[in-house]
Amino acid sequence: MTPLLTTHGLSRDFGGLKAVDSVDFSLMPGEIRAIIGPNGAGKTTFVSLVCGRILPSAGRIVFDGRDITDMPAHKRVRLGIAYTFQITSVFARLSAYDNVALAFQRAQSGRSVHDGVMEALDRTGLADRAKETAGAMAYGHQRLLEVAMGLALKPRLLILDEPTQGLSDGEIAGFIALVREIGRDATVLLIEHNMHVVMELAQRITVMEAGRILAEGAPQEIRDNVAVQEAYLGGTVEAAS
């Protein structure tokens, strides 16, 4: 099977700092992949390069066989790459419905806007909050709204950056179920600090440290990896859960 996404020698420098340092990465269609690592490891910079928010200093990005290295972010959205931010980026003065409608319209779908919006809100458990102003919603619900906005784009690749931040335990359980459902139709790339979420969801895990890939493997392989434990997990995976 051909990878949906690959990066080759991908790098991004900020002054003298190598935030992402010659990363070779491959993601298969239909995979749920987690990226973990300590603060400053380069995780958010890496996915920002993939979605086009920033451009690389060196290297290439290939999506579905197409070189998208220099492609603007809005064109990557049309190819099927959707990204939810580490910090919520909802339009605070608009309703939940209108936030999702704006995203849906970017997808240039032939479906009814109303049907598409309500489907995305329903999948994230927010259908009964459609008329609520986004800025008045609890932070956790804003995070879910952003996921709904991503779903409205009908993505082939959905990138989630710290999506469970601010969610209650019950909401996290619902989120895990939601991502499993999303994974039936799309590929998911997830940055997450909650190790319970990572171990529950990820089929493979990529560990970053200092802008490079330290290790990759199935959850149990990462759990047992001594280098990962020393670099990130404080001795055991459980210590970070």
Is residue 200 in a domain?
yes
Q: Are residues 76 and 166 in the same domain?
A: yes
What pLDDT does 212 receive? 96
Q: Are residues 142 and 164 in the same domain?
A: no
Q: Are residues 227 and 110 in the same domain?
A: no
Q: Are residues 147 and 176 in the same domain?
A: no
Q: Residue 68 belongs to a domain with what CATH number?
A: 3.40.50.300
Is residue 185 in a domain?
yes
Is residue 85 in a domain?
no
Question: Which bin fits 106, alpha (ψ -120 to 50), beta or left (φ > 0)?
Answer: alpha
Q: Are residues 96 and 70 in the same domain?
A: no
| Lookup: tokens for 233 | 């997990």
Buried b (16+ CB within 10 A) or exposed e, 208-237: bbbbbbbbbeebeebbebeebbebbbeeeb
What pLDDT does 232 receive? 66
d(CA 221, CA 55): 32
| Lookup: tokens for 133 | 């102003």
**What is the chain's length?**
241
pTM above 0.85, yes or no: yes
Is residue 118 in a domain?
yes
Q: Are residues 150 and 110 in the same domain?
A: yes
CA proximity to 96, closest of 56, 137, 43 = 137
Q: Are residues 227 and 119 in the same domain?
A: no
Q: Are residues 174 and 234 in the same domain?
A: yes
Is residue 233 in a domain?
yes
Q: Are residues 181 and 111 in the same domain?
A: no
User: Within the chain, which residues score under 50 in pLDDT?
Assistant: 86, 235-241
| Lookup: tokens for 173 | 């359980």
What pLDDT does 90 receive? 86
Contact present, 20 and 10 (Cβ < 8 Å):
yes
Choose one of 111, 133, 154: the last residue of a domain.
Answer: 154
Tell me whether strands 5-14 and 17-27 are parallel, antiparallel or unpaired: antiparallel
CA proximity to 237, closest of 192, 209, 201, 199 = 199
Q: Which domain holds residue 192?
A: 5-80+156-240
Q: Are residues 72 and 104 in the same domain?
A: no
Number of domains in the chain: 2
What pLDDT does 241 receive? 34
Q: Are residues 118 and 19 in the same domain?
A: no
Is residue 217 in a domain?
yes
Choose one of 154, 186, 202: the last residue of a domain.
Answer: 154
Q: Are residues 178 and 208 in the same domain?
A: yes
d(CA 157, CA 145): 18
Is residue 160 in a domain?
yes
| Lookup: tokens for 115 | 């049907």
Is residue 180 in a domain?
yes
Choose one of 154, 176, 202: the last residue of a domain.
Answer: 154
What pLDDT does 108 receive? 63
